[in-house]
Amino acid sequence: MQPSRPIYPIERIISAATYLTAGGVGFIWLIIAAVLKKHVTQFLLYHIMQSIFLSIAYFLLVKFAELIYIILYKIPLINAIPYLINMPIPVLFGLSIVQTVTTAIILYLAITAGMGLYSYFPWVSDIININTGRK
């Protein structure tokens, strides 16, 4: 989605960096803005909140996957599935399938934020739009 006003380069850099640092840069920017009593633009707030939301969701998903892995590890023949999913693949520069997918998602979000666009991630972006007042 195209923003309604021009986005400044610093906003683009901070938005892209917040995805690359799992919300860390954005969280620090929110603290600095609160201390200096500055207004955080809607573009920045959208990307910071989406990055933090995705980071927490990813953490919870990984913890749930670890639980499933513990259960699957005890079942013969099925215990190979988690290994195959996490096996390094030489064609993908030694990354596993899971690592490739998460890296691609992070790069997509960072690049579109760096271009000054509102990145869309299904379901998550809809929640962030409602909570930041965009819709």
- DSSP string covering 19-37: HHTTTHHHHHHHHHHHHHT
Q: Is residue 22 part of a domain?
A: yes
**Per the structure, how many domains does the chain have?**
1
Q: Is residue 4 part of a domain?
A: no
Rounded to the nearest integer, the mean pLDDT of the chain is: 89
User: Looking at residues 84-90, what average pLDDT do you find?
Assistant: 82
Q: Is residue 102 part of a domain?
A: yes
Task: Give the per-residue pLDDT at 2.
Answer: 56
Q: Is residue 37 part of a domain?
A: yes
Q: Is residue 25 part of a domain?
A: yes
Q: What is the pLDDT of residues 27-43, one digit of tens each?
A: 999 999 999 999 999 99
Q: Is residue 2 part of a domain?
A: no
**Cα 115 to Cα 108: distance, rounded to the nearest angstrom:** 11
3 has a pLDDT exceeding 70: no
Full residue range of the structural domain in which residue 107 is found: 9-132
Q: Is residue 17 part of a domain?
A: yes
Write the DSSP symbol of residue 96: -
Calculate the CA 42 to chain-centre distance. 18
Asked which of 46-55, 86-95, 97-106, 116-125 is least confident by mean pLDDT, the reply is: 86-95
Q: What percent of the chain has pLDDT over 90?
A: 60
Q: Is residue 120 part of a domain?
A: yes
Q: Residue 58 — pLDDT band, cuts 50, 70, 90?
A: very high
